[in-house]
Amino acid sequence: MVMRMSQVVAPTLREDPSEAEVVSHKLMLRGGFIKKLAAGVYTFLPLGYRALRNVIGIIREEMDLSGAQEVCMPTIIPAELWQESGRWPLYGKELFRIKDRHDREFCLGPTHEEVITDLVRDSIRSYKQLPANLYQIQTKFRDEVRPRFGLMRGREFLMKDAYSFHTSEESLEKEYQNMYQTYCRIFDRMGLKYRVVEADSGLIGGGFSQEFMVLAETGEEEIFHCNKCNYSASRESAGVGKYKAQAKAQAEAKVTEIHTPNAKTIEELIAFLKISPDQMIKTLIYETEQGAVAALVRGDHAINEPKLKKVLGVEDLRLADQAVIKKVTGAPVGFAGPVGLKGVKIVADHAVELIPLSVSGANKEDFHLINIVYGRDYKADLTGDLRFAVKNDNCPRCGEGIFDVSRGIEVGHIFKLGTKYSDKMRCVYLDEKNQEQVMIMGCYGIGVSRTVAAAIEQNNDKDGMIWPVPLAPFKAAIVPVNAEEPEQKAVAEKIYHELQAKGLDPLLDDRIDRIGVKLKDIDLFGIPFKVIVGPKGLKEGKVEVKQRRTGAMELVPLDQVSEKLVQLIGG
């Protein structure tokens, strides 16, 4: 079948759509790759779907080579399974919850840990059947509070999710490394620049996880990486290395209470006292299943709640309301501090311990304390790394380097789940002694449709997309200057069939339109190579071959065009 541009359904736009906020969203709408159906819900048109299929093809080939087996699970999941795992009340409003005609509760699957665990506990009974790794490529649903950025944060999206089951931690580690290498091959084959970072496991759970981040200046996530060693981490999980010691406080500097009317925020207090934020102690009151806690970070730092949960060893963590804050501190919101705080556990970030003379709330409305010294005026029950890292923080791994910060887009995430789901859902096997043991699990996801958008975020210019060759909807476009001129038309058709015979997946632009319009569209589509058939070149028996990424152009004899494209595409 000849793919003619005149027949391709690709309603292009000349201007950026007002609704689009990021490059990939703008270009996919402008190029007719996708069409919005509802907020966060998109139809893939032919060009977009071809790119999506290329992503799927690479993922499927590498997953199959890894030894994983493909399955297809339902998108609609009974509530009972999520209640078994304990996630039904925890997932929140992002979970699409529905009822059938019999008033039974279901959800649309945002992820399938419960379903796969239910499948395996009914299908695998013996240690001889383990390990096993099952995967699917399937539509997922998450009711985002604010769908945005096109395919980057939609309510319906395509994901590859895999789940492995094991008899030992050693077996899990082996498969985890297998998936790590598989993911590297997948993104290498796609031609994407990426970085692997340590990550927070979030609601999926488990003891350890890593994210695969496509590097892009427009990426919504920060990546912290050491300038001396190979440590990389997401903002949520980046640790902070040892702090440099600071000057000791003067012994004669005594705690003093200062009247600070209408100064509740860090910014207001800094202006009122004429101090810098690194002199401040920010005290936040939280509620947990263990009771209320006071968390302390420096005024110029932001508390990292996942880290705080780990230090405290709690599952339930939420900011206290005004009533609880008043009960704990004796003051309204904005005046909490560690000095004199009683009946509540105090946990402090390491940086707080080293402030020579600090300032905090006085647990009294409109008053703050100055000249506070850790260990003399108050002491924390627990200390640890509680904050988000910032640029130039010390590396926690090598201790020598400092953090550089780049931006990226999460496209893959691999987890060591342990027994989080298998224990609660009684997913067990019989060991060599015929005794029941709980299976150990791993989980491995790739955002398939998100990867399409990430590839565009990383590869674009003022004229449109610049697809890496493996992902391009077409590898080359043959563009006659005048599609009605017999010689140009015949030569274009001949080149098309030659390229097609070599498996190069070309597009023939047979539209009766100005050459400038056609070339502009092909550039917008990001097709890697253009073969321009024009009267000047044909006089010499040649055509122009132009590269989309570099703009390099070469006149190539007609009998060498297919070999030249094979060389360029293969290289």
Placement of tokens 């006085």 in the chain: 362
Distance, in Å, from the CA atom of 508 to the CA atom of 162, rounded to the nearest integer, reads: 38
Residue that terminates a domain, selected from 456, 484, 517: 456
Task: State pLDDT tens for residues 23-36.
Answer: 999 999 999 999 99
Q: Which two tokens stand for residue 147?
A: 């769908």
Amino acid residing at 37? L
Report the alpha-carbon angle 387-392-370, nearest 5.
55
With bands split at pLDDT 50, 70 and 90, how would you rate the model's confidence at 236?
confident
Q: Which two tokens stand for residue 271?
A: 């202006």
With bands split at pLDDT 50, 70 and 90, how would you rate the model's confidence at 251?
low
Q: What is the dihedral of CA 420, 415, 147, 448, to 10 degrees?
A: -130
Are the beta carbons of 457 and 22 closer than 8 angstroms? yes
Quick one: 291 and 217 in the same domain?
no
Report the b/e string of 5-16 with b at 16+ CB within 10 A: beebebebeeee
- Boundaries of domain holding 549: 474-570
* First vs last C-alpha separation in the chain: 27
Judged against a pLDDT cut of 80, whether residue 535 lies above it is answered with: yes
Name the residue among 553, 499, 552, 548 with its Cα closest to residue 526: 548
Quick one: 231 and 269 in the same domain?
no
152, part of any domain:
yes
Report the b/e string of 450-463 with b at 16+ CB within 10 A: bbbbbbbbbbbeee
Q: What percent of the chain has pLDDT over 90?
A: 86
Quick one: 132 and 33 in the same domain?
yes
- How much is the pLDDT for 285? 97
SS3 label, residue 565: helix
Peptide bond between residue 131 and the one before it cis (omega within 30 degrees of 0) = yes
- How much is the pLDDT for 202? 56
Q: Which two tokens stand for residue 337?
A: 């501090």
Could you count the other beta carbons within 10 Å of the beta carbon of residue 121? Answer: 18
- How much is the pLDDT for 206? 53
Placement of tokens 């092909």 in the chain: 522
Distance, in Å, from the CA atom of 511 to the CA atom of 76, rounded to the nearest integer, reads: 44
Q: What percent of the chain has pLDDT over 70?
A: 96
Quick one: 488 and 437 in the same domain?
no
Amino acid residing at 498? E
Quick one: 207 and 81 in the same domain?
yes
Alpha helices in 226-364 (DSSP H): 266-273, 305-312, 322-329, 350-353
Quick one: 426 and 348 in the same domain?
no
Name which of 202-216, 241-255, 335-349, 432-446 the model is least confident about: 241-255
462, part of any domain:
no
Distance, in Å, from the CA atom of 408 to the CA atom of 72, rounded to the nearest integer, reads: 30
Are the beta carbons of 55 and 448 closer than 8 angstroms? yes
Task: Check which CATH number belongs to the domain holding 328 and give it.
Answer: 3.90.960.10
- How much is the pLDDT for 347? 98
Are the beta carbons of 466 and 526 closer than 8 angstroms? yes
Strand ranges (DSSP E) for 4-113? 34-38, 41-44, 69-70, 76-78, 96-99, 105-108
2, part of any domain:
no
SS3 label, residue 72: coil
Quick one: 260 and 235 in the same domain?
no
Q: Which residues contact 53 (CB under 8 A, 6 or more apart)?
A: none
Name the residue among 467, 500, 464, 485 with its Cα closest to residue 535: 485
Quick one: 264 and 199 in the same domain?
no
Name the residue among 531, 496, 526, 489 with its Cα closest to residue 510: 489
**Average pLDDT for residues 326-351, to the nearest whole number?**
94
Quick one: 151 and 284 in the same domain?
no
185, part of any domain:
yes
- How much is the pLDDT for 204? 47
Judged against a pLDDT cut of 70, whether residue 449 lies above it is answered with: yes
Q: Which residues contact 257 (CB under 8 A, 6 or more apart)?
A: 362, 364, 367, 368, 369
Amino acid residing at 201? S
464, part of any domain:
no
- How much is the pLDDT for 249? 53
Are the beta carbons of 524 and 463 closer than 8 angstroms? yes
Quick one: 40 and 189 in the same domain?
yes
390, part of any domain:
no
- How much is the pLDDT for 337? 96
With bands split at pLDDT 50, 70 and 90, how would you rate the model's confidence at 220?
confident
Residue that terminates a domain, selected from 327, 351, 384: 384
- What are the angstrom distances between the C-alpha of 291 and each of 319, 344, 384, 473? 12, 8, 19, 56
Report the alpha-carbon angle 91-95-97, nearest 5.
125
Q: Which residues contact 188 (CB under 8 A, 6 or more apart)?
A: none
Could you count the other beta carbons within 10 Å of the beta carbon of residue 70? Answer: 13
Give the β-pairing of 256-259 and 208-215.
unpaired
Give the β-pairing of 529-533 and 476-480.
parallel
Strand partners, 78: 106
157, part of any domain:
yes
65, part of any domain:
yes
- What are the angstrom distances between the C-alpha of 45 and each of 18, 28, 61, 289, 380? 20, 10, 24, 49, 58
- How much is the pLDDT for 199? 80
**Average pLDDT for residues 187-216, to the nearest whole number?**
84
Quick one: 296 and 195 in the same domain?
no
Distance, in Å, from the CA atom of 219 to the CA atom of 196, rounded to the nearest integer, reads: 15
pTM of the model as a whole: 0.88
Backbone angles phi, psi at 240, to 5 degrees: -120, 130
Q: What rounded mean pLDDT belongs to the chain?
A: 94
Quick one: 58 and 197 in the same domain?
yes
Q: Which residues contact 499 (CB under 8 A, 6 or more apart)?
A: 476, 478, 505, 506, 561, 562, 565
Task: State pLDDT tens for residues 353-403.
Answer: 999 999 999 999 999 999 999 999 999 999 999 999 999 999 999 989 999
With bands split at pLDDT 50, 70 and 90, how would you rate the model's confidence at 288?
very high
Task: Check which CATH number belongs to the domain holding 200 and give it.
Answer: 3.30.930.10
**Average pLDDT for residues 499-509, to the nearest whole number?**
93
Could you count the other beta carbons within 10 Å of the beta carbon of residue 171? Answer: 16
Number of compact structural domains in the chain: 3
